[in-house]
Structure 1
Amino acid sequence: MKPEDVKVVKGPLVTASAEEVEALEAKLWITFPDGYIDYVTRLGEGYLSDFIRIHPPWRIDKEVDAWRRERAQYWFWDEGPPLLPKARAVECVCIGDTLNGDQLVFHPSRRDRLFVLPRQQCEVFEAGPDLLSAVDWMLRSGRLIAGARRKLQFEAFDSRLEEPDEDDDDDVFGDPVEASDRIKTSTDGLIGEARVWADRRRVHRRADRFFADYLNRGMTRGMTAVRQCEALVFEAETASGYHLGYMAIYKLIDGKTKKAVDSIAFHYSDDGFMGAGPLP
């Protein structure tokens, strides 16, 4: 893949300057992988092939510390070859992700090895020796999405217009504002923010692991769970205020008849509670 081969279908481009890249390298004591500066100065921030987002310097600078803390707290990739142990992963820099929640990272001491932390799998993938090779692998290897995406189309956007208030990094939605003031108040913006909240807490992976155990015992042995719908919900107000939670409705499928036999609600709370129960 080459940036010049990409067709821009939505602009204007939101590019970074070489000086911005170099300033962040100096601040973090890193050198970005080959291809990164070419990508962000030519294409900038946006969606590639409606799937990949390479993070510009301003987003990396804002999120790197929180991302490392999250990896220290939540680590799911212990299966497969030991390509990236957790001890090194918490020192990595996340330079991109996908709309499915897969994360593209590199370690400052080995910028010629880019890794993917997939959302739906529990092993680390090695994506390539430079950014453009890694992007090509993510689009065409078939490990992250079924089938290869060959159309290199780009839709620009500016994440700085969609960020929460600086004084409340944990509040996904931020304070109420006029619709004309913030993109996030649109329906698409709210859905996007909800996906970010869910992705950061790995709720799909938590649900998958919960049901892997739940469906391996008792009357549910041999069944499969298929997610039907999902939503972020406000939990009951407490002394400290409202809390966000996640809820999804799963249909239980009999392994022999392939028919739905029941529905069950999975719930995850931001305070760490996780469980499931029958629908009322």
Structure 2
Amino acid sequence: MPLENYTIIPNVNTNSTQRFTATPADIISMEKMLNITTDEDYKTYVTTYGCGILGGTYIRVYLPQVATALQKEWLERITQYWFWDEGKEILTKEQVLQSVVLGDTLDGDEIISYHQQYYVLPRHQEMIYKIGDTLGDAISWLCNTGILTEAFEEREFEPFDPADYQQ
């Protein structure tokens, strides 16, 4: 499913619709550093919408710089706190450790990419779910299936400054 056109709403704190987007060079740099190839939906999302929250307060897709900065710490945390053994038929621990984290949800579920496929590691479940071939598929799955949260129709994007990640 292709990316939808999301309604951009003002940031709740700044009342601004200013977007903090990535450049094609940012994407290329991340892909080289993390040995990943991202899909066109991811590239479109981060260059068009950028840093923010989608679906009211539910989905956060990381800018390339953020994904790169978080990857080492994320791998260490996943190694130490692995608990998704019920999902080993979907992805093994070794495969997850070869993945790249590209986003998360308000609930702490982590959106990862492995071999150009999207998966989610739920915070409150020991299962792993394959959620799509593209970021558009993954967003649709997260918003519509009702598996990790109640399905919702809201498709608003609220931009925020990536410096907020540091707070």
TM superposition score normalised by structure 2: 0.90
Aligned residue in 2 for 1:95: 102
Pairwise CA distance, 1:88: 1.1
Q: Sequence identity, in percent?
A: 32
Q: Is the 8 A contact 1:16 1:44 kept in 2?
A: yes
CA distance in 2, matches of 1:60, 1:5: 23
AA aligned opposite 1:127: I
Residues 26-60 of structure 1 show CA distances to partners (whole Å, capped at 9, x for unaligned) of 22222113411011001001000120000001111
Q: Is the 8 A contact 2:78 2:97 kept in 1?
A: yes
Q: Is the 8 A contact 1:3 1:43 kept in 2?
A: no
AA aligned opposite 1:158: D
Aligned alpha-carbon RMSD (Å): 1.5
Q: 1:68 to 1:81 in 2, by over 3 A?
A: closer
AA aligned opposite 2:122: P
Aligned residue in 2 for 1:120: 124
Q: 1:66 to 1:5 in 2, by over 3 A?
A: same
TM superposition score normalised by structure 1: 0.55
- Structure whose residues are more often strand by fraction: 1
Find the partner of 2:36 among 20, 30, 36.
30
Secondary structure of 1:23's aligned partner: helix
AA aligned opposite 1:27: M
Higher relative contact order (CA closer than 8 Å, sequence separation 6+)? 2
Aligned residue in 2 for 1:48: 54
Q: Is the 8 A contact 2:3 2:135 kept in 1?
A: no
Q: 1:4 to 1:132 in 2, by over 3 A?
A: closer
Secondary structure of 1:96's aligned partner: strand
Aligned residue in 1 for 2:71: 64
- Structure whose residues are more often helix by fraction: 2
CA distance in 2, matches of 1:47, 1:54: 8
Find the partner of 2:22 among 3, 16, 26.
16
Computing the radius of gyration from Cα coordinates, the structure with the larger value is 1
5+ long unaligned stretches in structure 1: 164-183, 185-280
CA distance in 2, matches of 1:39, 1:153: 13
> 1:82 aligned to 2:89?
yes
5+ long unaligned stretches in structure 2: 11-16
Aligned residues: 160
Pairwise CA distance, 1:17: 0.8
